[in-house]
């Protein structure tokens, strides 16, 4: 096996590193897995519910895949996240295959490396949510569209519309908006409306899209009534652009620091790209990638609801641009600097978290107590060594750019997977997991009071409700809300989380 193939194999397996180590994170992972759990509890695999209420947030595909995973392999963090990890591996493979076809093997490895190891993508590629699926299908749709533009073979047209249909079943209209919008803008720059209309109005691919994407929505509307369509399309899609939902707002420039930080340790390639926008625009493939990324960036910058991973939907196009910057003369030292910044930030995480505790509420202060004890000698040794390695390209002039790129990427990705995510997960979610596993074998209805931690239902494997507590109920709450309960007996208490039985 050649070195390049070995590296590709490592990158494809990267989303599986320590996949089952961190507890499930609330709110997102908890909500998705609790909804899938509720499918088993209700015996209904067509509709998604969360804590007894219809969940119209997302379409059905991720729930089906999670249900298959846990049915075959049992309930664990690994199996809940397995569909996302598999989708991410396929995203890495699809990107490598596409860039190899339209550019060369070196650029293909760079693009795959960025997806596998960039800080923000390391998180989203292993999360038990619908985003890894959407990123895969957006990438396939975009790459297949480009191959159709270049080769005019019908198979690429069908592949693009098939991917959009599966993306629509994963996350909704955004799976259609980005590919259609990107091609529209690209054709507008060339005044080539014939290509756009040929792609957008091809009857066979359109029928394929409708045959895959439409049936579940029709069945759901028949079962749930028009409230499903209004809840899904208007509240959870269109309304997100009008007003911040669930407190997820931000300024117009929200995604500027998100992009810079999420690409670490490869942000140096972005800085180079910003100085070469004219040459990027002249290259038709890179212009396509730029329009893809900018469309996602601008759309979500103007959206009322903002979450960091929204901008990642444009990263299938952005990696095409970043991979083309590796040969630039400034790449070696810029990658070394941004790599060193990455590991310096990782070394500063315990201190930054400790400083942030001064602004926490009492419950969260209990949750964050003894932060330094969670970061053992192994963390400091690993990050300190990685910091030294990241500086080697500055000290050893003959060292190639690829060393800085691969070394920093693999070390940063491994740090996130093996150290940071498990530590943060244990601090934030450890008590909820313990309470859920304990509640699995206890009698009495389960309730959440004053908190929103749906992973409690996932770990308990039992239905959890939100209602006023009654005698005999087992209630998970926070320390500050305990006095709101009727007379109760504390069964479990850890770092502000309390599981109590109402008497």
Percent above pLDDT 70 for the chain: 94
- What pLDDT sits at residue 352? 85
Condensed to tens digits (0 to 9), the pLDDT of residues 263-273 reads 999 999 999 99
Strands 474-478 and 497-502, how do they pair? antiparallel
Degrees to nearest 5, angle at CA 289 with 283 and 295: 130
- What pLDDT sits at residue 27? 85
| End-to-end Cα spacing for the chain | 66
Condensed to tens digits (0 to 9), the pLDDT of residues 130-167 reads 999 999 999 999 999 999 999 999 999 999 999 999 99
- What pLDDT sits at residue 464? 95
Tokens representing residue 492 in the block: 């479990």
Q: Where is pLDDT greater, at 191 or 395? A: 191
- What pLDDT sits at residue 474? 96
- What pLDDT sits at residue 486? 87
Q: What's the whole-number mean pLDDT along residues 236-260?
A: 71
Q: Is the pLDDT of residue 35 over 60?
A: yes
Cβ 189 vs Cβ 287: under 8 Å: yes
CA quadruple 463, 464, 468, 470: dihedral sign: positive
Which among 490, 190, 163 has a CA at the least distance from the CA of 316?
A: 163
- What pLDDT sits at residue 236? 53
Which residues are 50's β-sheet partners? 53
Q: Which of 119-133, 390-404, 476-490 has the highest mean pLDDT?
A: 119-133
pTM for this structure?
0.94
User: What is the domain partition of the chain in residue ranges?
Assistant: 94-323, 331-430, 438-502
Q: What's the whole-number mean pLDDT along residues 224-248?
A: 62
How far is 406 from 411, CA to CA, in rounded Å?
Answer: 8
Condensed to tens digits (0 to 9), the pLDDT of residues 81-96 reads 999 999 999 999 999 9
What integer best gives the mean pLDDT of the chain? 91
The confidence band for 241, taking pLDDT boundaries of 50, 70 and 90, is low
- What pLDDT sits at residue 469? 92
Percent above pLDDT 90 for the chain: 73
Under 8 Å CB-to-CB from 116, ≥6 apart: which residues? 11, 12, 14, 15, 88, 92, 122, 125, 409, 413
Tokens representing residue 401 in the block: 């750019």
- What pLDDT sits at residue 247? 53
- What pLDDT sits at residue 361? 75
Q: How many CB atoms lie within 10 A of CB 163?
A: 24
Q: What's the whole-number mean pLDDT along residues 175-182?
A: 96
- What pLDDT sits at residue 444? 92
Condensed to tens digits (0 to 9), the pLDDT of residues 426-458 reads 999 999 999 999 999 999 999 999 999 999 999
- What pLDDT sits at residue 242? 59
Q: Is the pLDDT of residue 372 over 80?
A: no
Q: Is the pLDDT of residue 56 over 90?
A: no
Condensed to tens digits (0 to 9), the pLDDT of residues 313-357 reads 999 999 999 999 998 888 888 999 999 999 999 999 988 888 877
Which among 203, 347, 322 has a CA at the least distance from the CA of 272?
A: 322
Tokens representing residue 465 in the block: 């409700």
Which among 459, 448, 435, 454 has a CA at the least distance from the CA of 31?
A: 454
How far is 289 from 293, CA to CA, in rounded Å?
Answer: 6
Q: What's the whole-number mean pLDDT along residues 225-252?
A: 63
The confidence band for 231, taking pLDDT boundaries of 50, 70 and 90, is low
Q: What's the whole-number mean pLDDT along residues 411-425?
A: 95
With H, G, I as helix, E, B as strand and everything else as coil, classify residue 46.
coil
Least confident of 45-54, 130-139, 202-211, 293-302: 45-54
């Amino acid at each position: 096996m050649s070195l390049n193939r070995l590296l590709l194999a490592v990158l494809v397996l990267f989303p599986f590193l320590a996949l089952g180590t961190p507890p499930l994170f609330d709110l997102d992972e908890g909500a998705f897995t609790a909804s899938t759990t509720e499918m088993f509890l209700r015996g209904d695999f067509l509709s998604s519910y969360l804590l007894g209420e219809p969940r119209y947030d997302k379409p059905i595909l991720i729930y089906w895949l999670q249900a298959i995973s846990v049915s075959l392999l049992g309930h664990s963090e690994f199996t809940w996240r397995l569909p996302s990890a598999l989708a991410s591996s396929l995203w890495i493979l699809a990107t490598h295959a596409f860039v190899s076809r339209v550019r060369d093997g070196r650029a293909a490895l760079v693009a795959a490396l960025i997806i596998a190891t960039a800080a923000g993508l390391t998180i989203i590629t292993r999360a038990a949510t619908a985003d890894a699926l959407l990123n895969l299908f957006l990438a396939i749709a975009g790459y297949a569209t480009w191959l159709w533009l270049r080769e005019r073979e019908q198979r690429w047209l069908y592949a693009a519309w098939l991917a959009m249909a599966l993306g629509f079943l994963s996350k909704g209209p955004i799976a259609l908006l980005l590919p259609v919008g990107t091609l529209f803008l690209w054709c507008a720059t060339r005044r080539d409306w014939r290509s756009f209309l040929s792609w957008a109005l091809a009857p066979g691919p359109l029928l394929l899209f409708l045959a895959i994407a439409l049936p579940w929505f029709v069945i759901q509307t028949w079962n749930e009534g028009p409230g499903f369509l209004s809840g899904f399309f208007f509240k959870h899609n269109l309304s997100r652009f009008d007003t911040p939902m669930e407190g997820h707002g931000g300024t117009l420039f929200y995604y500027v620091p998100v992009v810079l930080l999420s690409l670490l340790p490869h942000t140096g390639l972005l800085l180079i790209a910003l100085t070469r926008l004219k040459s990027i625009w002249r290259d038709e493939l890179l212009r396509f990638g730029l329009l893809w990324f900018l469309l996602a960036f601008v759309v979500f910058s103007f959206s009322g609801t903002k979450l960091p991973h929204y901008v990642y939907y444009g990263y299938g196009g952005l990696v095409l641009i970043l991979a083309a910057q590796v040969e630039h003369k400034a790449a070696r030292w810029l990658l070394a600097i941004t790599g060193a910044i990455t590991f310096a930030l990782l070394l500063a995480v315990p201190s930054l978290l400790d400083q942030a505790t001064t602004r926490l509420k009492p419950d969260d202060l209990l949750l964050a107590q003894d932060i330094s004890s969670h970061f053992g000698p192994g963390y400091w040794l690993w990050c300190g060594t990685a910091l030294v390695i990241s500086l080697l390209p500055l000290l050893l002039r003959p060292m190639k750019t690829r060393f800085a790129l691969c070394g920093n990427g693999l070390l940063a990705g491994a740090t996130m997977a093996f150290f940071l995510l498990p530590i943060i997960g244990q601090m934030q979610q450890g008590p909820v997991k313990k309470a859920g596993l304990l509640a699995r074998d206890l009698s009495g209805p389960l309730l959440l009071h004053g908190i929103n931690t749906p992973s409690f239902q996932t770990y308990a494997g039992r239905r959890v409700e939100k209602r006023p507590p009654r005698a005999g109920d087992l209630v998970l709450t926070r320390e500050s809300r305990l006095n709101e309960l009727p007379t109760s007996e504390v069964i479990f208490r850890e770092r502000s989380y309390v599981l109590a039985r109402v008497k």
